[in-house]
Structure 1
Amino acid sequence: MSRTGKKHKTWNPDQMKLAIRAVREKEMGYLKASKVFDVPKSTLEDYAKQFHKTPEQLVAAPIGRPVLSLEMEEDLVSYCLEMDRRVYGLGTADMERFSFLLPGNG
């Protein structure tokens, strides 16, 4: 759940693909497609307007920020545990800064 308490991507991805195609091919409007395919109208509008992407690309795209690779995450956890062992407190800003300083994370 997000900070607002709403669940993300609880709709059926296959239904969203069909809804995007229906809107793009002008078979129906956003409101009707959202009702027929049981998907959120605002999400359908956002996705259908991205003409440079296929419905498959849009539905498969992850939400939120990019995640760390498993190896990078393990490095960050090890560092945090070492800092904890040394009784050195790390805040949220420290964690964000360290995650971007890891090799390979740009």
Structure 2
Amino acid sequence: MNQAVDAVISGQMGYMMASNRFNVPSSTLERYVQKRRKNPGADKTSGKYHTVFTAEQELELVAYLKDMQKQLFGMTMKEFRRLAYQLAEKNNCSHKFSKTLEMAEEDWVRGFLTRHRDLSLRKPEATSGARAMGFNRVAVLP
């Protein structure tokens, strides 16, 4: 689609020729060309929603969640939402989280979990202290 839009805007070909060559509907192509001509400086990935954290910060958050799980400290959804709010505040990230509840919104969490499918936040099960203490390298590997 982007190649077809670029071809029409640069004047290399018209709507019908670009539509046929790049195999895209002509009405859709016209709409995209109009959008690009209205706002030529906008990047092609701009949209309604913007992420709060950078990709690096999100990967650090994922690593933290996985590390806590390995140490048998599961996190509830509310705790994760509070953690996300605190991280956004500490890093001065622009966000629309609830300042009164000091928590990230549920839709942000859904988006985060969609971007990181290897995570699943559920209510953690209680682990007794004796079981946690018995689960170490010496006890597991004789």
Q: What is the TM-score when the length of structure 2 is the normalising length?
A: 0.38
Q: What is the TM-score when the length of structure 1 is the normalising length?
A: 0.46
